[in-house]
Amino acid sequence: MKTVAVLGGGPAGAFAAERLARAGLKAIVFDEKLAWEKPCGGGLTYKAYHEYPFLIDNDTPKRLVNETSLSAPRAGAVRMELAHPLVIYSRMDLNRMLLARAEKAGAFIEKTRVLGLDRKERGWRLRTQSGIADADFCIIATGARNPLRHVGTEWSATDTMSALGYYVPASQAGIDIQFLPQLEGYIWVFPRCGHLSVGICGKGESAQSLRARLEAYMSERGISWRGSAFYSHMLPSLETSGWKKNRVSGEGWLAVGDAAGLVDPITGEGLYYAMRSGDIASQVVIDDAHGLIEKASAYRTLLAREFAGDLEYAASLAKRVFLGRFMFNSVPTRMIQFMRRSPIFHELMQDLFAVTQPYLGLKGRLLRYLIGTLQEVLTNFFLNRVIPGNSRASL
């Protein structure tokens, strides 16, 4: 393996290039924009910076946010202290930092658009806006709007959601999350350095309708969008069927990040999976023990084992989380009510936010917690009845 072309220099591509260059390979990143304000909340979870501490230990501007408010119709809001802060970057800053790290490790960075790639007898020929480039191997990191049709995830309408919002010149201390009636998605308000990222994501609903919902929410909260920059983008959100046929690798190429559909179908978190898949892909490329076909299947296996299996399972839960009903009310409404009433449910939500609770173990933990919560509620009810004026009566 001599030259690895990394197509796309977002978090997935930049991180893969850094790893490849550190291992002594010639890695060339091709990106048409390089550091840019990609439409994104920019939130990095504890799981991400726990695994890659440089994501929190650096001089790049960022906000560390320790509190969240979650709201749902007919349940009001509940505040939650985060067990670990969410680190929020502007994407311009995050991309710039990751590209600088790649360059420092020895990767070559070229600002150009890749127009196509053709298989040669050995390796690849890339057609770019600035000419032709040859490579032995390709990492596809062109994001959710990957224009290269024969590599990476093949999108169907049901495997994506719309995400849009405004960068509002205002500030606040905590994050707001709002669930809405009949929406497989949610609204977020993320405080960033110097502005708020206020956005909405939703599946099966037009961008126009999502924008109307978001603007109604902003009006209600007194957040003005006039004069604020608008953003919109596609967010991968694979259904279970999408995960089963997901095209993440082939002979001589591996797809990473959004180009491989690697986004949490419930939260829309993609930054961690972009970097982690970039890391795993680079390890597979570096490993001399594998031939090209074996590399493709080794990567698929490693992804499934690390997190793709969990995300596939999450896809089977997503509709129930947002649109399901539990005890005559919507699941988000019940979730807020449980958080308010039960410290153990509250703790579970903190772990989900930090992504330290995999979806695959959620059912068992929920069952245990429901039993515990029921005990808590009954105990409080009993104390309230038997000892009137008991301080826990507020529950």
> Which chain residues interact with ligand FAD by CB under 6 A?
8-13, 30-33, 38-43, 113-114, 141-143, 147, 163, 199, 233, 235, 257-259, 263, 268-272, 274
Least Cβ distance, residue 243 to ligand FAD (angstroms): 16
| Radius of gyration in angstroms for the set of CA atoms belonging to the chain, rounded to a whole number | 22
DSSP 3-state of 205:
coil
- CB of 141 or CB of 331, closer to ligand FAD: 141
- CB of 162 or CB of 350, closer to ligand FAD: 162
Query: Using CA atoms, how far apart are residues 101 and 21, in angstroms rounded to an integer?
Result: 10
Residue nearest to ligand FAD according to CB distances in the complex: 270
- CB of 49 or CB of 369, closer to ligand FAD: 49
- CB of 192 or CB of 295, closer to ligand FAD: 192
Q: Which residues contact 59 (CB under 8 A, 6 or more apart)?
A: none
- How many other CB atoms are found less than 10 A from the CB of residue 320? 12
DSSP 3-state of 162:
strand
Least Cβ distance, residue 288 to ligand FAD (angstroms): 26
- CB of 145 or CB of 385, closer to ligand FAD: 145
Query: Using CA atoms, how far apart are residues 33 and 164, in angstroms rounded to an integer?
Result: 20
Least Cβ distance, residue 159 to ligand FAD (angstroms): 14
Least Cβ distance, residue 320 to ligand FAD (angstroms): 22
- CB of 52 or CB of 390, closer to ligand FAD: 52
Least Cβ distance, residue 277 to ligand FAD (angstroms): 8
- CB of 118 or CB of 294, closer to ligand FAD: 118
Query: Using CA atoms, how far apart are residues 263 and 260, in angstroms rounded to an integer?
Result: 9
Query: Using CA atoms, how far apart are residues 48 and 44, in angstroms rounded to an integer?
Result: 6
CA distances from 176 to 51, 56, 79, 240, 324 (A): 26, 22, 9, 29, 22
Least Cβ distance, residue 310 to ligand FAD (angstroms): 15
CA distances from 138 to 114, 127, 329 (A): 12, 13, 49
Query: Using CA atoms, how far apart are residues 56 and 167, in angstroms rounded to an integer?
Result: 23
DSSP for 18-46 reads: HHHHHTT-EEEEEESSSS---SS--EE-H
Least Cβ distance, residue 263 to ligand FAD (angstroms): 5
- CB of 242 or CB of 268, closer to ligand FAD: 268
Least Cβ distance, residue 353 to ligand FAD (angstroms): 12
CB-CB contact of 70 with 45 (8 Å): no
